């Protein structure tokens, strides 16, 4: 799946809504949240790697003047 301007706007709106709450979150709680995100990323590593490859590889080929390896 690809993202567009609407997705970016939604993400920014969500971030702005919680920025003050995040600023008042303890270091320990922030760490717990970030570790939970890291765990989810590890659980979905193959999916994330596939998605990243699909978005990055065409750009690499273009930069390499179509000389894809």
Q: Is the dihedral of CA 48, 54, 57, 58 positive or negative?
A: negative
Report the length, in residues, of the chain. Answer: 69
When pLDDT is cut at 50, 70 and 90, the band that residue 18 belongs to is very high
Q: What is the pTM of this model?
A: 0.64
Whether the per-residue pLDDT at 65 is higher than 80: the answer is no
pLDDT for the residue 45: 93
* Cα–Cα dist 47/24, whole Å: 33
pLDDT for 29-62, tens place per residue?
Answer: 999 999 999 999 999 999 998 888 887 777 667 7
* Cα–Cα dist 50/44, whole Å: 10
């Amino acid at each position: 799946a690809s993202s567009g301007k609407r997705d970016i706007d939604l993400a920014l709106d969500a971030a702005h809504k919680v920025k003050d709450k995040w600023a008042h979150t303890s270091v320990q709680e922030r760490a717990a949240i970030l570790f939970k995100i890291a765990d989810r990323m590890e659980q979905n590593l193959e999916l994330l790697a596939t998605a990243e490859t699909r978005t990055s590889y065409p750009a690499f080929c273009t930069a390499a003047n179509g000389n894809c390896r």
